[in-house]
């Protein structure tokens, strides 16, 4: 993920602001890994190194809006290896607005960035 950094370094930056990225997902199993990698890349490339020693802390909250593919399993695997990735699984498809609301309520960041389904496949330059 963030090149040259380990999770202990990330956690030790607790005084820095936390950005929460909330991404409702529905049948997005194939896009999850690329999305996480693009967020990492986008944050590092947008980070102004003159502004501080470290890029901002962030979490990605995926809200599974009733997927019937392996989205839940894929996100769960990332949750086990990356403490910045979180998962909320809704019992059925409630719609994007309800999924966003659930994710925003669970967010612990100083700032929250909501991302819609279609943004999972867009280049992060459109997001950052």
Rg, the chain, Cα only: 14
State which fold the 17-88+96-121 domain adopts: Spore Coat Polysaccharide Biosynthesis Protein SpsA; Chain A (3.90.550)
The 10s digit of each residue's pLDDT in 100-118 is 999 999 999 999 999 975 5
pLDDT value at position 10?
Answer: 46
Cα distances from 80 to residues 8, 86, 93, 124, in angstroms, run 15, 9, 24, 24
pLDDT value at position 42?
Answer: 84
Residues of the chain with pLDDT under 50: 1-10, 12
pTM: 0.78
Long-range contacts of 111-114 (CB under 8 A, 24+ apart): 111/17, 111/18, 111/19, 111/20, 112/19, 112/20, 112/21, 112/22, 113/19, 113/20, 113/21, 113/22, 114/22
Q: Are 34 and 124 in contact (CB under 8 A)?
A: no
Write down the domain spans for the chain.
17-88+96-121
């Amino acid at each position: 993920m963030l090149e040259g950094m380990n999770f202990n370094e990330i956690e030790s930056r607790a005084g820095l602001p936390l950005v929460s990225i909330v991404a409702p997902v529905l049948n997005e199993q194939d896009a999850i890994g690329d999305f996480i990698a693009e967020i990492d890349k986008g944050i590092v490339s947008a980070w102004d190194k003159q502004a501080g020693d470290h890029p901002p802390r962030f979490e990605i909250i995926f809200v599974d809006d009733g997927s019937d593919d392996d989205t839940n399993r894929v996100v769960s695997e990332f949750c086990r290896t990356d403490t910045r990735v979180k998962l909320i699984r809704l019992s059925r498809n409630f719609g994007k607005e309800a999924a966003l609301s659930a994710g925003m309520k669970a967010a612990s960041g100083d700032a929250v960035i909501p991302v819609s389904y279609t943004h999972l496949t867009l280049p992060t330059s459109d997001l950052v």
